[in-house]
Amino acid sequence: MNKTLSSCLLCFAALAPLSAMAAEPLVRFEGGIGEIPVSSVATANVVQEVPPGGQPWVISSLSADVSTDGGIKVDGRGLLLAGGNGIGTNGGQSVRARLICAGVPSDSDVVPLEANGDFRIKGSLVPTPPAICNTPVLLILNGSLTAAGTRWFAAGIVKQ
């Protein structure tokens, strides 16, 4: 066997374990629920300790894929205010995704909402979620990075 062929075979053998280590799907969300600020007359609609945005929000569509290595891809459409003086606008907001697995939150980077409420997130969750995600919840949050300023605008629907 010549030296070049031998080197190529060695390269392929070295790369084979990398493909075996590819991240597996962890959880998928298809469809979204807009936020309504109150769950009863005097009770805020708090989800996983995150308070709601100040006005109602709607979302036309939402799909998200999360892998075991923490990789996340989210495609959101039409996340817009459904009340108040800014009705029908994006409220000048930026958003991020938060995956909660059995009460443990992991967040994505912040991205701006387009004027029509569309957004795309592609990156990694921090910290990496657990390898098994019990009772998954996906929230679309405002861009505030402080706990006191964090509000949710939409939630994903788990795809079985």
Q: What is the pLDDT of residues 54-70, one digit of tens each?
A: 999 999 999 999 999 99
For the ranges 4-18, 37-51, 88-102, which has the lowest average pLDDT?
Answer: 4-18
Per-residue burial over 91-126, b if 16 or more Cβ lie within 10 Å, else e, is: bebebbbbbbbeeebbbbebbebeeebbbebeebbe
Mean pLDDT for 38-62 is: 93
Q: Is 19 strand, coil or helix? A: helix
pTM, to two decimals: 0.86
Q: What is the pLDDT of residues 90-115, one digit of tens each?
A: 999 999 999 999 999 999 999 999 99
Backbone angles phi, psi at 29, to 5 degrees: -125, 135
- The two three-digit tokens of residue 14, written as one number: 């070295």
Q: pLDDT-derived band of residue 11, with 50, 70 and 90 as boundaries?
A: very low
